[in-house]
């Protein structure tokens, strides 16, 4: 299928590099680990939401939106990339933050992503933990519409079938790169949260009959909830791209055993993984998503869940700006 049938606006630096991590692979004694650098999509320090926003913001432009509204945690990478995209396209940006973390620290509330949101001039509102975020978005949208604005609402994480197109595209992109490099990918691994990334990847991998299994490492919900969420969106996305019937329930696998005490709450294994990758490969990962996913991948490797000669592709979905929001929560001594 042709993704060029869908409206799209260029926001990301693409294609992102696909690189080997030889020092990490050696350190772990195999398998061969590669990384897809979606932390390098460019916009406002980059990350996975930029690919989704290429399709979402194109729809906002089509509808002549004057303001985009979205939601997330205070240290949301999605909110930061949305704020940057709105600036680039001359729209206002309204962010609704859920106070998802108990007893947040000063850096969490002021630095990292939220500091960048303020630099981008986004309007920020906060609601209590556990609020109905969809309702909160709609009420802000109504308020702005009453003031004469044309509001475009983007769901949390940009995860609907439009945003997921960004990760259908990513699947095509790394398959093309792998084909050119002669790289046979045995497994793809990444952090899964609001589900759009995994849903888009599955739709792309299945629609093209790649035969590559995908493992999402959850950062938020328990396994059954996460897999159902991804499956529903993957089916919708496959239909949307004209590949109805290609996604089966068994294609959706999420391992949610590396969350620790909850979303955005640091774990020791995450901290270890962030330090390991920084010191072995010079690459920064993040405390909320990629650090926990890496910790999961490393644990599964140590438990011999992959063959020693397998080729793993880890998708780095970004988030390193969030490190600054956790500067008082992360150990820097190995
Ligand atoms: C949002 C995000 C994810 C998860 O992507 P979803 O599409 O929400 O599942 C992973 N990594 C980072 C850094 C993110 O910001």
pLDDT tens digits, one per residue of 21-47: 999 999 999 999 999 999 999 999 999
Q: What is the pLDDT of residues 238-269, one digit of tens each?
A: 999 999 999 999 999 999 999 999 999 999 99
The answer to whether the CB of 216 is under 6 A from ligand 1 is: no
CA of 146 to the centre of ligand 1 (A): 32
CATH of domain 49-158: 3.40.50.1100
The residues, ordered by sequence, that sit 6+ positions from 197 with a Cβ below 8 Å of its Cβ are 48, 159, 164, 167, 190, 191, 216, 315, 317
Q: Is the pLDDT score of 1 beyond 80? A: no
> What are the residue boundaries of the structural domains of the chain, listed by start?
18-47+159-326, 49-158
Give the H/E segment covering residue 218. strand 214-218
Residue 64 neighbours by CB distance under 10 Å = 8
CA of 133 to the centre of ligand 1 (A): 17
Mean pLDDT score, 208-219: 98
Q: Are strands 18-20 and 32-37 parallel, antiparallel or unpaired?
A: antiparallel
Ligand 1 atom with minimal separation from the 190 CA:
10
Ligand 1 atom with minimal separation from the 196 CA:
7
CATH of domain 18-47+159-326: 3.40.50.1100
Smallest Cα–Cα separation from 248: which of 234, 263, 229, 267? Answer: 234
Catalogue the active-site residues. Answer: 76
Cα four-point dihedral sign 304, 308, 313, 317: positive
In a mutational test of the pocket of ligand 1, which residue from 193, 203, 220, 296 has the highest number of ligand atoms less than 8 Å from its CB? 193
Is residue 234 left, alpha or beta, with left meaning phi > 0 and alpha meaning psi from -120 to 50? Answer: alpha
**18-47+159-326 and 49-158: identical CATH topology:** yes
Does pTM top 0.85 for this prediction? yes
The answer to whether the CB of 264 is under 6 A from ligand 1 is: no
Q: Is the pLDDT score of 102 beyond 90? A: no
């Amino acid at each position: 299928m042709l993704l060029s049938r869908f409206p799209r606006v260029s926001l990301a630096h693409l294609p992102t590099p696909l690189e080997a991590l030889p020092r990490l692979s050696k350190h772990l004694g195999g398998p061969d680990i590669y990384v897809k650098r979606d932390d390098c999509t460019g916009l406002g320090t980059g990350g996975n939401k930029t690919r989704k926003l290429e399709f979402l913001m194109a729809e906002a432009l089509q509808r002549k939106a004057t303001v985009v509204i979205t939601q997330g945690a205070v240290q949301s990478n999605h909110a930061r990339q949305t704020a940057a995209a709105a600036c680039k396209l001359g729209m206002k940006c309204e962010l609704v933050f859920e106070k998802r973390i108990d007893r947040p620290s000063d850096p969490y509330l002021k630095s990292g992503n939220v500091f960048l949101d303020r630099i981008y001039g986004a309007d920020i509102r906060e609601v209590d933990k556990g609020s109905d975020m969809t309702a909160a978005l709609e009420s802000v949208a109504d308020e702005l519409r009453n003031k004469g604005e044309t509001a475009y609402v983007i769901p949390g994480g940009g995860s609907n079938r439009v945003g997921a197109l960004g990760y259908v595209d990513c699947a095509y992109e790394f398959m093309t790169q792998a084909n050119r490099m002669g790289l046979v990918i045995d497994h793809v691994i990444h952090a899964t949260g609001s589900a759009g990334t995994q849903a888009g990847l599955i739709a792309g991998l299945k629609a093209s009959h790649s035969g590559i299994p995908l493992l999402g490492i959850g950062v938020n919900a328990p396994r059954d909830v996460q897999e159902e969420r991804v499956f529903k969106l993957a089916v919708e996305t496959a239909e949307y791209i004209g590949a109805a019937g290609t996604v089966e329930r068994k294609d959706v696998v999420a391992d949610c055993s590396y969350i620790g005490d909850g979303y955005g709450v640091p774990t020791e294994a995450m901290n270890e993984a962030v330090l390991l990758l920084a010191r072995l490969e010079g690459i920064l990962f993040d405390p909320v998503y990629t650090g926990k996913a890496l910790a999961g991948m490393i644990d599964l490797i140590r438990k011999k869940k992959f063959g020693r000669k397998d080729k793993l592709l880890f998708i780095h979905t970004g988030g390193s700006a969030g490190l600054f929001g956790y500067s008082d929560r992360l150990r820097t001594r190995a």
